[in-house]
Amino acid sequence: MKLGLCTIAFSEKPLEAVIDIAADYGFDGVELWGKPPHMPSEYDADAVKKIRDMVLRKGLEISAFGSYVNPLMAWHQRHLEDALKIAQGLGTDLVRIWSGGGPSKSLHPDEKRLITFRLIPLAQWAQFRRLTLGLEMHNNNLTDSVASILELIEEVKLPSLKTYYQPTFRPDADDPHEAATKLAPHIVNVHAQNADANGQACAIADGVVDYGKVLEVLAQRGYDGYVEVEFVHGEDKLAALQRDRDYLASLIGAFDEPLRHMTGDLV
């Protein structure tokens, strides 16, 4: 597994400063926030190339392009095409997208069908370009539960449509550890977030989600993608980032070490 930083964590800073932070704090890569000032509001091939070069000069990878494309938005095909071109220009094969809609339990069946109907050609388009679409697991979207995510993936039936893992904190949310188990075959990225018993965002090590259990489940199923810090909490954001980074790095190291021994024995 690799350690990533979502640049939205420092949305108040220019992108170059966030890239410097990611490199200085020992991250392997960054997920680029798909809004200004970190990305141009319109597709700009030259700007995309400059961003890619800036990241690579720091010895980092670009784990994903964090777009805001969803199948219910106006001109969704055009927006996806721009997002796919940006991803290819950045050198990543993963584009984060949204399902749109409202909470899955209250979303009208017709709207669910429309989301599915529109996602099929979007996933086909991505597959043609050899890219993957990762659905954002998020409240107030169709993809707010394990059941609705699995149903959507099974109905689309294309390998280019996958999901992010991101726990949701609400009274009726799925158990985060069971969610990791059920979604594991489809997970392409992890947004490591946590909250206390009252649902308040907190340090990744301190909340109700045991990321030791989550990453153990994913490691057992062969997950080797990114585990990312998406937001940091506290008055001293850099100190909070250091703590989150070190905690996740310790977990990743614990699960990766047995794999290194196993592969070493085969050489």
What DSSP string runs through 155-189?
A: HH--TTEEEEE----STTPPPHHHHHHHHGGGEEE
Of 36, 48, 40, give the one whose Cα is nearest residue 12. 36
pTM tops 0.75, yes or no: yes
What letter does residue 194 receive in the DSSP assignment? Answer: -
**Partners of 97 in the beta sheet?**
135
Task: Please report how many Cα atoms fall inside a 13 Å half-sphere around the Cα of residue 95, on the Cβ side.
Answer: 31
Q: Provide the pLDDT for residue 254.
A: 85
Q: Report whether the peptide linkage leading into residue 71 is cis, meaning its omega lies within 30 degrees of zero.
A: no
Q: What is the pLDDT of residues 211-255, one digit of tens each?
A: 999 999 999 999 999 999 999 998 999 999 999 999 999 999 987
Residues of the chain short of pLDDT 70, as ranges, are 256-267
Q: Provide the pLDDT for residue 262.
A: 43
Q: Provide the pLDDT for residue 205.
A: 97
- Those residues with Cβ within 8 angstroms of residue 165's Cβ, 6 or more apart along the chain or in another chain: 137, 179, 180, 183, 187, 189, 190, 191, 214, 218
Element of type H or E holding 83 = helix 76-90
Residue 222 belongs to a domain with what CATH number?
3.20.20.150
Cα 61 → chain centroid: 14
CA distance 184 to 3: 18
Q: Provide the pLDDT for residue 257.
A: 60
Domain of residue 254, residue span: 2-266
Query: In degrees rounded to 5, what are phi and psi of residue 76?
Result: -65, -30
What letter does residue 8 receive in the DSSP assignment? Answer: G
Q: Provide the pLDDT for residue 265.
A: 46
Residue 30, token pair as written in the block? 């960054």
User: What is the domain count for the chain?
Assistant: 1
